[in-house]
Structure 1
């Protein structure tokens, strides 16, 4: 995937430039704990911003790319955890509805198709974002920032659904 390659190159380049890069996932964790609902979208970018201030990592394209990529990976981990919760809960609901003979369409296949389509959208959107830089040195950080923002937004969507489903089972 584009993002993984960019993160590896960005981290290597940042270290080669002598930039000690540090990303703290607790920045996002604390923000999410302090906010609810749509206000959580303000958490997207905070981890990267903090990372860029540590040891002046944001002073180079490599440092910025690393920080954006590290936050993107953080959101991706949160997204995957929420996705697994939603698949499990929706799977239970699908089974119950099938047992009752419901004509409702199953949710798990729709969820999986939505996620596949979202990945394609994210990748295409961020490839386009990079292309707007005309091959300039800002393309890498711009692509990483795009992936971070879109992955964060999708993670928040799935986290909200997981929390809703977990609330319904309690």
Structure 2
């Protein structure tokens, strides 16, 4: 996971952290207006894009990395919230199962296993994205953009299950 260490080093710049003009509002407004899964997916990156526009040097490698990292944190929070809600629902479904089905793995186990399988998929997909940059300066922002997109997709997949 050398590429992940490089990404984390990229977003640790104190200069960008002090000047970053980031708000979740562009993504939140987009999601509120979106009526379908596809329209919601299109919202991923809205706040990062606005941040790049509003931040001096926002289109530099470090600026893009900082903006993308902040929106990734937004989607990660949404993913965790949706997963918790989906797990609560799954456990309730399992509790209502007939006694004859209690020994068969239920919805909560299936949800947990699905999420555990998704994490290595996300990491492999974004590792591939990183490899396309062959260590170039765009590797960090490309990797963060991939992590943002993959996390947004998973958050939105889990949303209706909660």
Q: TM-score, normalised by structure 2?
A: 0.87
Aligned ranges 1:13-162 → 2 under 5 Å: 13=13, 15-16=14-15, 20-38=19-37, 39-99=39-99, 101-102=100-101, 105-162=105-162
Q: Matched residues in 1 for 2:62 and 2:43: separation?
A: 23
Q: Mean Cα displacement is larger for which, 76-85 or 47-56? A: 47-56
8 A Cα contact 2:89 2:161, kept in partner: no
Any gaps of 5 or more consecutive residues in structure 2?
Answer: none
Q: Matched residues in 1 for 2:62 and 2:54: separation?
A: 14
Q: TM-score, normalised by structure 1?
A: 0.83
Structure 1 segments of 4 or more deviating over 4 A? 1-8
For the structure 1 residues 61 and 92, does the alpha-carbon distance in structure 2 shift closer, same or farther, using more than 3 Å as the test? same
Pairwise CA RMSD: 2.4
Report which of the two has the higher share of helix.
1
- Give the deviation of 1:54 after TM superposition: 1.1
- Give the deviation of 1:25 after TM superposition: 1.4
- Give the deviation of 1:161 after TM superposition: 2.0
8 A Cα contact 2:7 2:143, kept in partner: no
8 A Cα contact 1:72 1:151, kept in partner: yes
8 A Cα contact 1:51 1:57, kept in partner: no
